[in-house]
Structure 1
Amino acid sequence: MEELITPFNDYPIEFKELNPDDFEFFNVAEKIIITPNADGYINRELQNAIDLSTKNTVVVNAGVGQGKTYSIIQLVKQYYELEGYVIFIASPYMSLVQQYYDKTKDCGIPEGQIYRYENIGINRGINPEGSKVHILTVNALLGNPGEDALINSQAKRDYINHMVKYCEENNKKAVFIYDEIHDAIHNFKEEYIFTLWKWRNVIHKNLIISATFNEASKIVIKYLANLTEKKIQLIESKRIRIVEKQSELYLHYNNNQYYNYNDENIVNLLKLLIEHEKDIDILSYSKTLADNICKNTHEERSIGNILIQKYSEIQNCTTALDNNQRPDREIPTNRYDPLKCNVGTNFKTGISIEKENHAFIIIMPPKGAKSLFKNNYGVFTDGINAIIQALARQRKKGEIHVILPSPDTIDYSTLPFFSEHDKVEVFKQLYTNGKEVSEDSENLVKYISINNQKNILEDYYNDVYRKNVEEELEFFSTSDIQHTPEIRFPSLERFIITSGEKYLVNK
C-alpha cells in the first residue's frame, strides 16, 4: 500500500515530559536532551551523559524502540568491569528477568556472576555474594508479597537483608536499575518504601528508565531520589520517526457490544491478511477472549480455526498470575514465541516483534467493557501508556491492525492545530472514517495534552476528592481529641500514586 501523505507526516510526536520543576525541593540539574542516531538508537549519547561515579538518581525518558534495553546492558557491563559495585536490575515482570539474564550473558558477563530471582530460597549452588549482577522483580526488591500474603517470604527477606549486610561489611556500592518503571508503580506503597531504606548506607545510583512515564512515576522518582541525597539527573531523548521502521496503522471500527472468538469482522480481517501471506500475532485486551480463541479451533469461521489451518499450532500467551507471583518460580511456557503464531495478553510490553511481513492485530476493549462504576479494559486498564507500549512491540516495518469501537464525537475546537484548516479536515476524515457525525452533543470529547495531567489531578483532588470532607479535615486538624487508631487523609502524592491513573482512564 502506498504511503498516506497527510499534513501530519512531520507533526511533532507528543509524549510525557519530565522537567526540573516537577521535583520541587530536590537538587535537579538542567535537563539533558539527547538525539538518536540515524538508526534511531540512543546508546552512545546516553553513555556520554551519565557519570558512573556520581551518586544520584538518573531518569532516562526515551522513546519506544530507541534501544533502551541495549543501553541498560552496556551500563551494567561498565559497572561490572569496575571494582566495588554490585548491580541490581529490577524488572516489573518475570518475563523480563529471563530477557535480562540472556542479554547480560550475551554481553560477556559470566553466567556465574549473574544471580537471578528464581534462585532465591533454592539451593542451586549459586552464592549471591559471588555475583556482581542481580536480576530481580521489583516485587522482590521492595518486599511486595502480592495480593494473597501479608508479608513476602522468609527466603526473600533473608536474601535482601543478607545482601545489604554484605555490601555494608565489604564496602560495596549498590546500583539499582529500574526498567519499565511505569509497570511497577503498584509496588511503591508506603509500607514497602521502608524496605528500600535498608540500602541507605550503600546505595550509589538509581537508574530509572521508561518510554511512558506518568504522574505516578514522578512520585516514585522522588521516593528513590531521597536515597541519593535528593540528586536527580533528567535525560530526555528526542522523539523522531524512522520511516524505514514505521508500520502502517489500520483502525477497524467494530461496534459490537462484546467480541467473541467467532467475531465476523475479525474473521474477515484474518482471511484477508492470510490471503496476503502475512505472519500474524494477536494481542487481546481480555484473557477470556484470548483463551476462547485458542480453545475453539474446530468451529468453522472462527478465529482459532483460521489460525490453526495456517499454523497448525497457536501459542497461548495468557497467565492466571496475580501481581506476577509464581509459587514455584519455574520459567513458564506461555510466553511470546517468535517462531509461532501468538494469541494472548502478556506481550504488550517487554518483547520485540521482528517478524518479516508481519501483521500485528490488537483487540481493544469493546463498547460493553465500560460501565458507570468501573471498566473491564483488561490489559489496557492503565490507559494510554499500555496502548503506546502495545503498539511499539512491532519493531520492523509491517502492519498494525487495531480493533476498536467507533470514537465518540470530538470537540474539534480543542485540537492544538484547530487554526490549520488542512489538518483539521484530514483529521475529521480519518477520525470519523468518512462518516458524517453530529457535533451537537453536549458531551463532546475534548483534546487534552498529556502534559496537562498534573493539573487535572490536582483540580480533582482539591475541588472534589478533598473538598467533600473539608470541614471534617479542619475539625481533625484543630481538635484536641487523640484519635486511635491514627486517621490520616491521603495526601495529593498518595492519591496520584494509588488512584491517579484510574481517574484519568475512567474520565
Structure 2
Amino acid sequence: MQIKEVTPFTDLPINFKELNHSDFENYVFENEDKTIIEPDKQGYISDKLNEVIELYKKDTTIINASVGQGKTTAIIKCIEKYYKSDKNYTIIVATPSKSLVNKYIKDIEEVSNIQNICFDYQCLEALGITDKNFKNYYTKQIQVISIHSLLGNPGKIAVKQSNIKRKYYEGLIEFCKKNNRRVVVIFDEIHEAIDCFQEKFIFNLYKWREVIHKIIISSATYNEASKVVVKYLAELTNKKIKIVESTRCQNVSKLSDLHICFYDQFHIDVKNGFLIDLIEKQIPVSSKIHILSYSKKISKQIFNSKIGTILNNAYGEINLCVSGGNQYVEDKCNIGTTFRTGVNIDDENCSFFIIMPPKLSYMTPKGGMQMGLFSEGIISLIQALARPRKKSNIFVITPSPDKLILIPNKPVDYIAKTSLNYLPFDLENYQLKYYDINEQNRLLKDFYKSEKENISEEIAHVNEKELEIVPKFPDYDIYKLEKGEDYFKQYYDIFGKNLSNYFYWAAWNNQFVNCKLKNIIIVSTIKFEEGSIQEQLSKYYSKTFFNGRASYFTFYSDKDCYIKFRLSLFSNRIKYKHLKKEKYKIIAPYRNTNFEKQIITFIQRIKREFNFNILKLIYPPDGNRMNARNGKFISWKKPFDLAIELNTYLRICMAYSIELMMPFDKLSNQEEHLIRNYQSLYKFKDILLNDYSITNKKGELLLPKDSKIDFKKNDSIELKSIFNTLKENDSVLKSFSFLQKNADEKAIYSFIKKLFFEIKDTTFEESKYSRIISQIELPEKSHYINLIYSMEHPWILQPGYDVDIYSGKSIEES
C-alpha cells in the first residue's frame, strides 16, 4: 500500500447548518439575535451553556453546538438542577434510540450521585406489567423514553402503538395535571429521529400541551427538516424560541489524525489483505481498536474473520454490537453498527476504523438502502467521525472519489494536490460546484416552486371543483420535512449524493471538528508481465518489506512470510499481462495459477538462498545472481520466472510432515490436521507397493492401469478424506489446478501414482500395466520452504545475512 502524507487546506471555515431567527417566521424571540457562545480553552461549552439556558422560562431552547463540546454534559446538569431544586418538575429525556436509554440513565445517576431516580420506558415491555404498576413509575421525576415511543410511532411493522405504552403516557399526563407537575422535555441527538415527526404522530405530542413548561432540543448536525420539527415543538411553548449556537473550531490537544483509505472493490471482502494489513499494523500503537461498519452483515463477518481473531488475540474478548444484540462496551474493542452517534469513545490513543459503503452501493439508484448506516448522508458521517473524544487515529475505508468538489477562491494548487498525480480532477467533467450548507433552504424552495408550478393548472382545477376526495399538494414545511433531505442527497454531492466525494472534499478542506487529515492510503496498481514476474516481485519486496537494516523475512517463518507477502501484494490492484496478449487484466486472488506459483517460488528463493538446484533455473546457468567476467562484476542478472509444480509442493509438505512427532503444542489445530493428513498421504506409497502391485518375470513392479484400479473400501474412503481435508485446510493448494472436490478413485489413483513413482506403460500377460521405473524420493526439506506450519525459531534455518534482491547487495555490505 502507498501512504501519502498530505496537508489539508485551511482557508475555508468549518461549514455547519446555522439556525437563525429568520428560519422561524411568526415565532417569538425575546432577544434580538441568537446567543453565540465560544468554547473554553479545553474546547467545552458546558459551563457557558448552563449559564444561558433559562430553566424556569417557558420556551423552546435550541442548542446548536459542535460534537464533543459538552452539550450532553450541560443537559444532564440542567436535569440535576431541576431534580434538586424543585420536586414539582417531571423531566422527560427523549432519546433517538433504545440503545441510548441505558447510557442516559447511567450518566444521570453518576452526575447526580443518586441511584434509582429514572424511569426506563423499556420496563413497559416486560411481561406482567399492567396499569397497576404505573403509579410507582409516575412518581419518578426523570422519565427516559425514546422519541419514537413518545410520539406514538409504532415502527414499520405495527399499525399502532402498544396499548400499555399509550395508557402509560396518557396516565402520566393526567398525573402531571392533578399534581401541578410542570413537564420539561429534552430532545438530545434529535438529528437521529427526524423521521419520527410525521404529521400523523404530531397529534400525540400535543396531548402534552397543558403540562409542558420547557423544551430543550440539542444536536450538532441540524438539517432543513429539523427546522420544521422545531416549529412543531415550539407550538407547545407559546411559539417562544431561544437559539444558542457555538462556534465550530478544532481543539488541537484532542485532534485525531484522519487517514483516508481508498478501497475500490465493489464489495467489502473481510479477507482482503489490505484491510487485514491495515488493522494489524495499528495493534502495536493502539490502546484499543474499534470498527464501525455501514452494514450489520459486514460487522458479523469481520467479527468472525481473521480480523476478529487478530483483535481477540491482541486485546482479549471483543464485543459485537449490532441492532438486536449487544451495545457498545467501554472496556472492550467493539465491532458493529450501534455506536455511530450518542456514544463517546474515551480511549486515549485508540484506532477507530469506519467502513463506508463500497462502490457497488453507488451503482444502485441513489445508493438505496445499500448505504446502510450512512443512509442519512453527511450527518451520519460527521457523527461517526466524532465518536473518539481523545486524540486517536481515525481510518475511513472508502471508495476513491470520482469527482472533485471545488471551493470558493480555490488555492492555485488545489486541483494538483487533491488529484494525487492520478485522479482526473484537472478535467472539468470531473469537477463539481461548491454549495454552502446554509444555501439549502433557497435551493429546496426553488425546486419546490418549480414542482408546484409544473402542476399549477391541476391544483387550480382541484380548488375550483367540488370533488368528493380532494388531493392536496403539501405546503413547503411539510414538503421540507418529508422530502427535503432526499432532494439534497439526490442532486448534490456535497450534501450526500456521493458520500465519498463529500468526505474527500471535507477532509481536504479541514471540515471536521475532531480530526484533521494526515495521510491518504492507496491500494497501488502493480503491473506484472509474464516472463518478468520474479523481477517485479523482487522490486516490490525491496520497496515494501525492508525497514532499515532488517527485513521482515529474516525473523519470521516461511509460512508467515508467504502469508504476509501475499496479503500485502493483493492489498493492491494486480494487473497481469500474458506473453501473447497486448492488454493487462486485473487478477483476483487464486484466479491466476501461474502468478500464485511465482509467489511461492519467490518466497523459496528468498528464504532458501542456498538451494542451487532452484537458483540455477532462476539464474541460469550457474545460479549466480551476477554476470561476471574474469572474476569481475559486470551486472545483475534478471531472474527467470519459475513456476513450482503441484507434485513438488506436495512432496515438500510430506517431507516436513513425516518426521514430525505429534502432538506438538506449538502448532494450531489446523496445522496438526494438515500434518496428519500429509503423513497419511505418504503412507499410501507403501500401500500401493504392498497391496496393489505385482511383479513380472524380470522382477519389476507393476501397478494397475487407471481404469483397472479397484481400491479396498477403507483405502478408497481414506484417500478421498485425505484429499478433501487437504483442499479445505491447505490454502496454498488453491494456487494449483488440483483434483476436483468430488474426484473419483480412478483420478485420485492416477494422481498419487505419479506423485510417488516414475512409471512407464507396459504389457504383462496380455494386460496393460504401469511399470515402476523408480521411486521418487522426498526432497531434502531444509532446502525448501515450509508452508504448512510455522516453526518456533524460524531464523535457525535462515542464511546469516539478508539480501536486498533489488540491488543484489547484502545488508551487511550496504
Provide the TM-score with structure 2 as the length reference: 0.57
Deviations 1:29-69 (A, max 9, x none): 32000111111111111111122221110000010001111
Residue 293 and residue 165 in structure 1: after superposition, are their counterparts in 2 closer, same or farther (change >3 A)? Answer: same
- Residue type of the alignment partner of 2:54: D
- Where do residues 469-484 of structure 1 align in structure 2 (5 Å cutoff)? 469-483=455-469
Q: Which residue of 1 aligns with 2:74?
A: 71
Is 1:47 aligned with 2:50? yes
Q: Is the 8 A contact 1:374 1:506 kept in 2?
A: no
SS of residue paired to 2:48: helix
State, as a whole percentage, how many aligned pairs show the same letter.
Answer: 38
Q: Is the 8 A contact 1:115 1:126 kept in 2?
A: no
Cα shift at 1:493:
1.6
Deviations 1:64-120 (A, max 9, x none): 001111101100011112242111000001121111101111122633432111222
Q: What is the distance in 1 between the residues matched to 2:262 and 2:366? A: 25
Q: What is the distance in 2 between the residues matched to 1:438 and 1:125? A: 63
Deviations 1:142-164 (A, max 9, x none): 11111111110111111111111
- Where do residues 8-407 of structure 1 align in structure 2 (5 Å cutoff)? 8=10, 11-28=12-29, 29=31, 30-80=33-83, 81-108=85-112, 110-120=114-124, 122=126, 123=129, 127-277=136-286, 279-295=288-304, 297=305, 302-320=306-324, 334-370=326-362, 371-375=364-368, 376-407=370-401
- Residue type of the alignment partner of 1:105: E
Q: What is the distance in 2 between the residues matched to 1:277 and 1:109? A: 33
Q: What is the distance in 1 between the residues matched to 2:335 and 2:203? A: 39
Matched pairs, number: 479
Q: What is the distance in 1 between the residues matched to 2:249 and 2:379? A: 18
Residue 132 and residue 275 in structure 1: after superposition, are their counterparts in 2 closer, same or farther (change >3 A)? Answer: closer
Cα shift at 1:489:
2.0
Q: What is the distance in 2 between the residues matched to 1:132 and 1:467? A: 51
Q: What is the distance in 1 between the residues matched to 2:80 and 2:241? A: 22
Cα shift at 1:480:
2.4
Q: What is the distance in 1 between the residues matched to 2:427 and 2:193? A: 42
Q: Which has the larger radius of gyration?
A: 2
Cα shift at 1:438:
4.5
Q: Is the 8 A contact 1:409 1:439 kept in 2?
A: no
- Residue type of the alignment partner of 2:235: N
Q: Is the 8 A contact 1:356 1:396 kept in 2?
A: yes
SS of residue paired to 1:44: helix
Greater displacement, 377-386 / 124-133? 124-133
Q: Is the 8 A contact 2:94 2:145 kept in 1?
A: yes
Cα shift at 1:411:
5.5
SS of residue paired to 1:74: helix
Q: Is the 8 A contact 1:261 1:293 kept in 2?
A: yes
Q: Which residue of 1 aligns with 2:438?
A: 451
Q: What is the distance in 2 between the residues matched to 1:438 and 1:42? A: 40
- Residue type of the alignment partner of 1:72: I
- Residue type of the alignment partner of 2:59: N
Runs of at least 5 residues in structure 2 that lack an aligned partner in the other structure = 492-814
- Give the RMSD, CA atoms, in angstroms: 2.2
Cα shift at 1:311:
3.4
Residue 244 and residue 258 in structure 1: after superposition, are their counterparts in 2 closer, same or farther (change >3 A)? Answer: same
SS of residue paired to 1:111: coil
Q: Is the 8 A contact 1:408 1:444 kept in 2?
A: no
SS of residue paired to 1:362: strand
- Residue type of the alignment partner of 2:415: K
SS of residue paired to 1:27: coil
SS of residue paired to 2:281: helix
Deviations 1:347-369 (A, max 9, x none): 10111111122111111111110
Cα shift at 1:278:
5.4
Cα shift at 1:23:
0.4
Deviations 1:194-214 (A, max 9, x none): 111111111111000000000
Provide the TM-score with structure 1 as the length reference: 0.89
Q: Is the 8 A contact 2:319 2:335 kept in 1?
A: yes
Q: What is the distance in 2 between the residues matched to 1:101 and 1:277? A: 30
Q: What is the distance in 1 between the residues matched to 2:208 and 2:23? A: 25
Q: Is the 8 A contact 2:82 2:89 kept in 1?
A: yes
Deviations 1:386-414 (A, max 9, x none): 111000001110110111111122253xx
Q: What is the distance in 1 between the residues matched to 2:5 and 2:251? A: 14
Q: Is the 8 A contact 1:407 1:431 kept in 2?
A: no
Cα shift at 1:436:
4.7
Deviations 1:167-193 (A, max 9, x none): 111111110000001101111111110
Larger RCO, structure (CA 8 Å, separation 6 or more): 1
Displacement over 4 Å in runs of 4+: 1-7, 121-126
Q: What is the distance in 1 between the residues matched to 2:100 and 2:6? A: 36
- Residue type of the alignment partner of 1:174: V
SS of residue paired to 2:226: helix
Cα shift at 1:444:
3.1
Q: Is the 8 A contact 1:315 1:342 kept in 2?
A: yes
Cα shift at 1:451:
1.1
Runs of at least 5 residues in structure 1 that lack an aligned partner in the other structure = 321-332
Residue 334 and residue 482 in structure 1: after superposition, are their counterparts in 2 closer, same or farther (change >3 A)? Answer: same
Q: Is the 8 A contact 1:142 1:196 kept in 2?
A: yes
- Residue type of the alignment partner of 1:87: I
Q: Is the 8 A contact 1:77 1:109 kept in 2?
A: no
Q: Which residue of 1 aligns with 2:810?
A: none
Q: What is the distance in 2 between the residues matched to 1:361 and 1:433? A: 23
Deviations 1:292-348 (A, max 9, x none): 1123x3xxxx4334333423533111125xxxxxxxxxxxx5111122221111110
Q: What is the distance in 2 between the residues matched to 1:482 and 1:440? A: 56
SS of residue paired to 1:249: strand
Residue 277 and residue 207 in structure 1: after superposition, are their counterparts in 2 closer, same or farther (change >3 A)? Answer: closer
Q: What is the distance in 2 between the residues matched to 1:408 and 1:400? A: 22
Cα shift at 1:459:
2.1
Q: Which residue of 1 aligns with 2:639?
A: none
Residue 242 and residue 267 in structure 1: after superposition, are their counterparts in 2 closer, same or farther (change >3 A)? Answer: same
Q: Is the 8 A contact 1:363 1:403 kept in 2?
A: yes
- Residue type of the alignment partner of 1:220: V
Q: What is the distance in 1 between the residues matched to 2:134 and 2:465? A: 60
Q: Which residue of 1 aligns with 2:449?
A: 462
Residue 4 and residue 433 in structure 1: after superposition, are their counterparts in 2 closer, same or farther (change >3 A)? Answer: closer
Q: What is the distance in 1 between the residues matched to 2:442 and 2:106? A: 42
Residue 266 and residue 125 in structure 1: after superposition, are their counterparts in 2 closer, same or farther (change >3 A)? Answer: same
